[in-house]
């Protein structure tokens, strides 16, 4: 059961690698007149799809493991051990190739978690095979499979949560508009008011910010463009915000459309 689960898991991971590679190729296309940010989010979408696949695989493994607990069958411990060792070697090689890169790219992180989950499952299968060989406790096989599935669900949920946050254009993890607004007012006393603030991500490393900003005339003294330039540099250095759009408002403010349902 554990080997069959791992084989199915490996098959979906091969598919995950194909999706990840395709997303990287698509994301390299330059921006154009109707795709102004390019197709960088193809990688985020790939991570989302891979997360869904992880959940589906985990569900299938748990279902089959429960059936195996209810209806035990004979297990060949030695054959199970040898195949598990082969799978472990392949998974460790994949992890070494992706090591380090997964921290900066959500798409690669999804693929990396696929590979890491495979490696852990292979270790679990090796242990289960040894136990079965020396004790004949065949129930260890489905129990290990369920344990592997729980780990898979945990990682899949993390990838899905991060990719969904970006696709829904919510604020990046650990940041919000109130935090940035207070920070700007503290470091730039010429800012009188900030409103209609928006903060979102194109990818985990590409943040975008926009706001309506009202300056204190007595403090900027006609140097609004210079202040905006300094604000842009500050946001880039501190928050890695690569795109910043600031609309200057007068004392009377500006009309903003309110969407109501």
Whole-number pLDDT of residue 11: 67
Mean pLDDT value of segment 127-154 = 81
Q: In this structure, are 145 and 199 located in the same domain?
A: no
- What's the pLDDT tens digit per position in 159-186? 788 888 888 888 888 888 999 999 999 9
Decide: 208 and 199 in contact? Cβ < 8 Å.
Answer: yes
Boundary residue ending a domain (133, 167, 201) = 167
Residues 6 or more apart in contact with residue 70 via CB below 8 angstroms: none
Rg (Cα) of the chain, in Å, rounded?
26
- What's the pLDDT tens digit per position in 202-245? 887 788 999 998 888 877 777 788 888 999 999 999 998 988 88
CA 141 – CA 143 distance, rounded (Å): 6
In a domain, 232, yes or no: yes
- What's the pLDDT tens digit per position in 53-69? 878 878 888 888 888 88
Q: In this structure, are 64 and 121 located in the same domain?
A: yes
Q: What is the pTM of this model?
A: 0.69
Q: In this structure, are 6 and 85 located in the same domain?
A: yes
Decide: 57 and 12 in contact? Cβ < 8 Å.
Answer: yes
Boundary residue ending a domain (123, 144, 167) = 167
Q: In this structure, are 62 and 137 located in the same domain?
A: yes
In terms of C-beta density within 10 A (0-12 exposed, 13-18 middle, 19 or more buried), how is residue 17 classed? middle
Whole-number pLDDT of residue 10: 66
In a domain, 224, yes or no: yes
Decide: 132 and 141 in contact? Cβ < 8 Å.
Answer: yes
Q: In this structure, are 151 and 195 located in the same domain?
A: no
Q: In this structure, are 224 and 243 located in the same domain?
A: yes
Q: In this structure, are 162 and 211 located in the same domain?
A: no
Whole-number pLDDT of residue 211: 92
- What's the pLDDT tens digit per position in 92-111? 887 787 776 655 566 676 66
Judged by phi (left if over 0) then psi (alpha if -120 to 50, else beta), residue 9 lies in alpha
Decide: 133 and 77 in contact? Cβ < 8 Å.
Answer: yes
Boundary residue ending a domain (167, 201, 226) = 167
* Beta carbons within 10 angstroms of residue 61's beta carbon: 26
- What's the pLDDT tens digit per position in 14-38? 776 777 777 777 777 777 777 767 7
| Residue 201 in tokens | 């991500």
Q: What's the structural domain count of the chain? A: 2
Whole-number pLDDT of residue 198: 92
CA 200 – CA 128 distance, rounded (Å): 46
| Residue 139 in tokens | 């129930």
Residues 6 or more apart in contact with residue 129 via CB below 8 angstroms: 77, 78, 80, 81, 84
CATH label of the domain that carries residue 24: 1.20.1510.10
Q: In this structure, are 96 and 118 located in the same domain?
A: yes
Whole-number pLDDT of residue 232: 92
Decide: 46 and 84 in contact? Cβ < 8 Å.
Answer: no
Q: In this structure, are 214 and 193 located in the same domain?
A: yes
Decide: 13 and 175 in contact? Cβ < 8 Å.
Answer: no
- Nearest CA to 4 out of 57, 72, 53 is that of 57
Q: In this structure, are 134 and 38 located in the same domain?
A: yes
Mean pLDDT value of segment 4-11 = 63
Whole-number pLDDT of residue 184: 93
Residue 194 structural domain: 177-249
Q: In this structure, are 78 and 154 located in the same domain?
A: yes
Residues 6 or more apart in contact with residue 157 via CB below 8 angstroms: 51, 55
CB environment 172-183: b (16+ within 10 A), e (fewer): beeeebeebbee
The DSSP output letter for 103 is G
In a domain, 261, yes or no: no
H or E stretch at 29: none
Decide: 109 and 165 in contact? Cβ < 8 Å.
Answer: no
**Cα dist. 179→173, 189, 239 in Å?**
12, 16, 11
The DSSP output letter for 30 is P
């Amino acid at each position: 059961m554990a080997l069959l689960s791992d084989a199915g898991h490996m098959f979906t991971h091969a598919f995950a690698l194909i999706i990840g590679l395709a997303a990287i190729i698509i994301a390299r296309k330059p921006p154009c007149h109707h795709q102004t940010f390019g197709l960088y989010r193809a990688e985020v979408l790939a991570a989302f799809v891979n997360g869904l696949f992880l959940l589906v695989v985990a569900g299938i493994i748990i279902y089959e493991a429960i059936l195996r607990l209810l209806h035990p069958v004979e297990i060949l411990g030695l054959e199970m051990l040898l195949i598990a060792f082969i799978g472990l070697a392949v998974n460790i090689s994949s992890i070494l190739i992706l090591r380090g890169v997964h921290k900066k790219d959500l798409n690669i992180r999804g693929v990396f978690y696929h590979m890491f989950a495979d490696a852990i499952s292979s270790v679990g299968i090796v242990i289960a095979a040894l136990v079965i060989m020396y004790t004949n406790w065949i129930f260890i096989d489905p129990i290990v499979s369920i344990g592997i599935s729980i780990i898979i669900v945990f990682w899949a949920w993390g990838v899905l949560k991060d990719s969904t946050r970006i696709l829904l254009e919510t604020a990046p993890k650990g940041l919000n508009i109130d935090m940035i607004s207070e920070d700007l007012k503290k470091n730039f006393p010429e800012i009188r008011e900030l409103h209609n603030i928006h903060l979102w991500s194109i990818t985990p490393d590409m943040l975008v910010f926009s706001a309506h900003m009202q300056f204190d005339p007595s403090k900027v003294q006609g140097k609004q463009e210079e202040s905006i330039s300094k604000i842009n540099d500050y946001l880039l250095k501190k928050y890695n915000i690569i795109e910043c759009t600031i609309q200057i408002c007068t004392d009377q403010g500006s009309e903003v459309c309110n969407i109501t349902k």
